[in-house]
Amino acid sequence: MVTKKEPIWIARDLSKCSGCRKCEIACSIFHEKRIWPEASRIRVFMLVPGADFPHFCAQCEDYPCMKACPVNALSISKKTGAVRVKTKVCIACGKCIDACPGRIPHMHPNGRYILFCDLCKGDPKCVKVCQEGGWNVLKKVLRGNRPYKLYARTPEEITRDLAFKMYGEKAEEFL
Amino acid sequence: MILGYAGKFLEVNLSTGKIKEVGFEDEVLKDYVGGRGLATKILWDRLGRKWEAIDPLGPDNILLFLTGPLTGYFPGGRICVSGKSPQSNGVVGSTVGGEFGVELRCAGYDGIIVTGEAEKPVYLFVKDSDVEIRDASHLWGKDAKQTVKILTKECRELLKKRFPKYGEWKEPAMLYIGPAGENKVRTAVVAAKWTHAAGYGGYGAVMGSRKLKAVAVKGTGPLPEAADLKKVKRLIKVVNDNAYESELWRRWGTGAGGYECGAKTSSEPVRNWQDEWHDERSFGVDQFENRVWIKQFWSDFGCPTCCLKIAMVKTGKFKGAITDNPDYEMQAYLGPNLGIFTPEENVFLATIIDDLGLCGIQTGNVLGFAAELFQRGILTKKDLDGIEPKWGDADAFTALAKKITFREGIGNLLAEGTYRAALNIGKMKKMDVLQYAVQSKGISIGAHGIRSGKDYPEIISYACSVQGGDHTSTTGLPLDSGASELMEIFNDSGVYCNFNSFGIPRNVRFNFYEAVTGLELSREEWCNIKALRILQLQRAMLLLGGPDLKWNPRIHDDNPPRFYKPLLSGPHKGKTTDRAAVKEYKSRYYEAVGWDKNGMPKSETLRKLGLEDVDKALEKLR
């Protein structure tokens, strides 16, 4: 049982994603008090129909994003292990995006600061709605010490993998 | 301004290239809501006076892509496509699932009004308030999957170039046409994703006629503010929980119907509706589940149901065919209706139809019609350009579908849809072939028959609907119940998926409307005034019709002749529709909606609803 106090990780089984975007709805309502898909910290991509998947911070062990930040706007939450953004310090330069192996962070549509998944203080809302729906794409687990960096992949890379998994060689035609 | 609306609409004139923002008075939005309701109002106001002269495929028609205040809030996002329909010559509110409506609202618009026609192929790209008409020569002729691929890449590259620091751009949502729409085939769809379709109405042909290949939208703002987000959240949960309890509905979608509507309710089109019963276990949902569905839960925005599937044929002759679902309608119309009873052949045909941008229902209907004429020797191999559409021959139907798409030979005739094809073939063969056309007012009838009395449509459901054979807008009594199309008008005007409203308490949709807009709306007010007004407008434009066809309610408010023939087999063998019962039900329905005995909206009905100008316009038909 994962308690609120221990650092967590969101385990992800991307090929099960239905593309319902309830995670985006829940995330943006929690963080923005609006339904605001582009301001959601978790975003569902569908670059090839059927190959839908959520794209959000993989919480790399070495946090290259934090190292790349020129103004120290990023820090790691001791409680959850999530990357935290000091929104008033962030200069929206995008260096963390380039440093991320998965180009995962994106700018808040207001253009003022970068967005990272903050794990909702240890109780991720996206996981909750995904579980309610029975899709089980997202699941909360103890952070432990695993190679999470593997999950920091670009939307194109993930799309390619999922498309081939679904459509076999036929996927070539859609990529 | 009313909450829940972005407050502005885009108006794009493709002839002049002019783009502007327009708005509507609060009173108009209160009365007509959005989607189908608002489309009806816009079309009446702008085209009403010359309605009969407007060619749906000419430059004067208006093409509409409209959201409603519930789009994005009520689980299951949709967009409503409308205009003067090249099928019925009336107005159809044709909705399709996907993220388009949500993206549009997040871009700051409640809808897009397209007028005029472009000289060469174009697409419209909307990124928030940046709107541009772009060249689409390289997309013209491309099938559905290639269009989605090229446009996704192109738009993402544009966004990346313009906003290099944003991070990765998601795909824009898009609506597009395939080659069928480009060639103004009246059974062409406006498609979303792979390949959800706004099929009823034939608006793919309207897009094609103005050389509009696609509309792509990326909105980065929030949904328009709701009056009470907490209440919205509670209501979303009511809808979700209801869906989560319907395990088989989620697992199968409507895809159990291909077997069930034949074997259990005797209401499935079999060989162009010559029968409605079959017990082919080869067409069971378990076969689809085990053999071809490679993604069993696929959703559109916010949807808890995931009735959508993705199917792929992995072995054999049809290997490599990929399509969404097939849902029940596709299963039926591109299955038993053509004498096809295996998932592989069905998925293959659905793939062809989807890729070409054809409507599976309307085209499946016209293919079945042609096959029956061939079976009866009315159309010969020579008439059919060497094609022999024998029941069950997927290759022959594929060949015919391609002829239709490119309007070649016999295809040019069939591309007009079942009703118009029947008129022309009748003339050519000097005989009545309308008896084999299963449609209502130019719109093929959805795959739910009425003869057995065991399915949901009733004996006047299609005959009296203002959207003809549309199985998502069937009508009946009582007016304030799910049997009438007044409730469908709400779904199509709020613009969300009606599948997620099955089984929820019936006032939830009105509570939803109130939570989003802050306006009170009771079921009584909706049914007695607002929806009834929209219905009258739709009815008026349907009856005004033109330019090529007009409907006379005394003749055309009726079922297709086939529905008066007895069922040939199965547990309901011999059952048919009772003409006297239709007549009696119809007169009760006319009375309830305020139409005279000839089916014409009465002056007093129209005047009570504030539709004096409609009353005046109908004078010449009375």
Residue B496: DSSP 8-state: B
Residues 6+ apart with CB under 8 A from B231: B511, B515
For chain B, what is the mean pLDDT?
97
ipTM of the complex: 0.97
Q: Can you tell me the mean pLDDT for B185-198?
A: 97
By C-alpha distance, the chain B residue nearest A170 is B320
Q: How confident is the model at residue A6 (pLDDT cuts 50, 70, 90)?
A: confident
The domain that contains B603 carries what CATH number?
1.10.599.10
Residues B350 and B335: their CA atoms lie apart, in Å, by 9
Query: Any alpha helices (H) in B288-407, and if so which ranges?
Result: 328-333, 343-356, 360-375, 394-405
Asked whether the predicted pLDDT for residue B398 surpasses 70, the reply is yes
Chain A touched by B166 (CB under 8 Å): yes
Chain A touched by B306 (CB under 8 Å): yes
Q: How confident is the model at residue A4 (pLDDT cuts 50, 70, 90)?
A: low
CA distance, residue B132 to nearest chain A CA (Å) = 20
Percent of chain B scored above 70 by pLDDT?
100
Interface test with A, best of B104, B168, B239 (most A CBs within 10 A): B168
Question: Which tens digits make up the pLDDT trace of B158-177?
Answer: 999 999 999 999 999 999 99
- The string of DSSP letters for B564-597 reads GSPP-SSTTTT----HHHHHHHHHHHHHHHTB-T
Residue of A16, A45, A106 lying closest to B171 (CB–CB): A45
Q: How many CB atoms lie within 10 A of CB B146?
A: 15
Phi and psi at residue B41, in whole multiples of 5°?
-65, -45
Instruction: Classify residue A123 as left (phi > 0), alpha (psi -120 to 50) or beta.
Output: beta
Same-domain pairing of B213 and B257: no
The domain that contains B36 carries what CATH number?
3.60.9.10
Question: Which tens digits make up the pLDDT trace of A119-161?
Answer: 999 999 999 999 999 989 999 999 989 999 999 999 999 999 9
* Identity of the amino acid at A26: A
CA distance, residue B107 to nearest chain A CA (Å) = 11
B533: Cα within 13 Å, side-chain hemisphere: 22
Same-domain pairing of B413 and B321: yes
For residue B450, tell me if it sits in a domain: no
Dihedral angle over CA of B436, B440, B441, B443, nearest 10: -90
Asked whether the predicted pLDDT for residue A3 surpasses 60, the reply is no
Interface test with A, best of B103, B127, B166 (most A CBs within 10 A): B166
Would you state the pLDDT for residue A1? Answer: 52
Residues 6+ apart with CB under 8 A from B528: none
For residue B1, tell me if it sits in a domain: no
Same-domain pairing of B201 and B263: no
For residue B480, tell me if it sits in a domain: no
**Of B201, B210, B202, B154, which Cα lies nearest the Cα of B182?**
B210
Is B513:B521 a contact under the CB 8 Å cutoff?
Answer: yes
Residue of B170, B295, B299 lying closest to A43 (CB–CB): B170
Would you state the pLDDT for residue B32? Answer: 98
Question: Which tens digits make up the pLDDT trace of B84-113?
Answer: 999 999 999 999 999 999 999 999 999 999
Would you state the pLDDT for residue B439? Answer: 98
Pairing of strands B94-97, B78-82: antiparallel
Asked whether the predicted pLDDT for residue B116 surpasses 60, the reply is yes
Q: How confident is the model at residue A2 (pLDDT cuts 50, 70, 90)?
A: low
Question: Which tens digits make up the pLDDT trace of A66-125?
Answer: 999 999 999 999 889 999 999 999 999 999 999 999 999 999 999 999 999 999 999 999
For residue B556, tell me if it sits in a domain: yes
Chain B touched by A99 (CB under 8 Å): no
Q: Do B298 and A135 touch (CB under 8 A)?
A: no
- Helix, strand, or coil (residue B37): helix
Q: Do A38 and B73 touch (CB under 8 A)?
A: no
Q: Do A166 and B294 touch (CB under 8 A)?
A: yes
Residue of A39, A92, A135 lying closest to B222 (CB–CB): A39
Both tokens assigned to B546: 């033109």
* Domain coverage including residue B520: 485-621
Same-domain pairing of B413 and B272: yes
Q: How many CB atoms lie within 10 A of CB A174?
A: 21
CA angle A59/A62/A64 to nearest 5° reads 85
Residues B536 and B351: their CA atoms lie apart, in Å, by 38
Residues 6+ apart with CB under 8 A from B175: B65, B79, B81, B96, B98, B100, B190, B191, B192, B198, B214, B215
Q: Do A167 and B233 touch (CB under 8 A)?
A: no
Is B536:B427 a contact under the CB 8 Å cutoff?
Answer: no
Same-domain pairing of B165 and B279: no
Residues B227 and B567: their CA atoms lie apart, in Å, by 52
What distance lies between CA B453 and its chain's CA centroid? Answer: 24
Asked whether the predicted pLDDT for residue B397 surpasses 90, the reply is yes
Chain A touched by B229 (CB under 8 Å): yes
Residues B179 and B146: their CA atoms lie apart, in Å, by 11
Domains and CATH numbers, chain A: 8-174 (3.30.70.20)
Would you state the pLDDT for residue B506? Answer: 85
Is B341:B335 a contact under the CB 8 Å cutoff?
Answer: yes
H/E stretch holding B155 reads helix B144-162
Residues B258 and B288: their CA atoms lie apart, in Å, by 10
Q: How many CB atoms lie within 10 A of CB B426?
A: 17
Same-domain pairing of B63 and B179: yes
Q: Can you tell me the mean pLDDT for B379-399?
A: 98
For residue B587, tell me if it sits in a domain: yes
Question: Which tens digits make up the pLDDT trace of B443-467?
Answer: 999 999 999 999 999 999 999 999 9
Domain boundary among B201, B218, B235: B218
Chain A touched by B354 (CB under 8 Å): no
Q: Is the peptide bond before B547 cis (omega within 30 degrees of 0)?
A: yes
Same-domain pairing of B209 and B251: no
Asked whether the predicted pLDDT for residue A5 surpasses 90, the reply is no
Query: How many structural domains is chain B composed of?
Result: 3
The domain that contains B311 carries what CATH number?
1.10.569.10
Same-domain pairing of B195 and B252: no
For residue B463, tell me if it sits in a domain: no
For chain A, what is the mean pLDDT?
95
* Helices (H) then strands (E): counts for chain B: 24, 17
Would you state the pLDDT for residue B521? Answer: 97
pTM exceeding 0.80: yes
Question: Which tens digits make up the pLDDT trace of B463-515?
Answer: 999 999 999 999 999 999 999 999 999 999 999 999 999 999 989 999 999 99
Same-domain pairing of B511 and B608: yes
Both tokens assigned to B229: 């987000």
Same-domain pairing of B89 and B30: yes
Same-domain pairing of B211 and B257: no
For residue B611, tell me if it sits in a domain: yes
Question: Which tens digits make up the pLDDT trace of B556-595?
Answer: 999 999 999 999 999 999 999 999 999 999 999 999 999 9
Interface test with A, best of B103, B129, B165 (most A CBs within 10 A): B165
For residue B473, tell me if it sits in a domain: no
Same-domain pairing of B273 and B422: yes
- Helix, strand, or coil (residue B269): coil
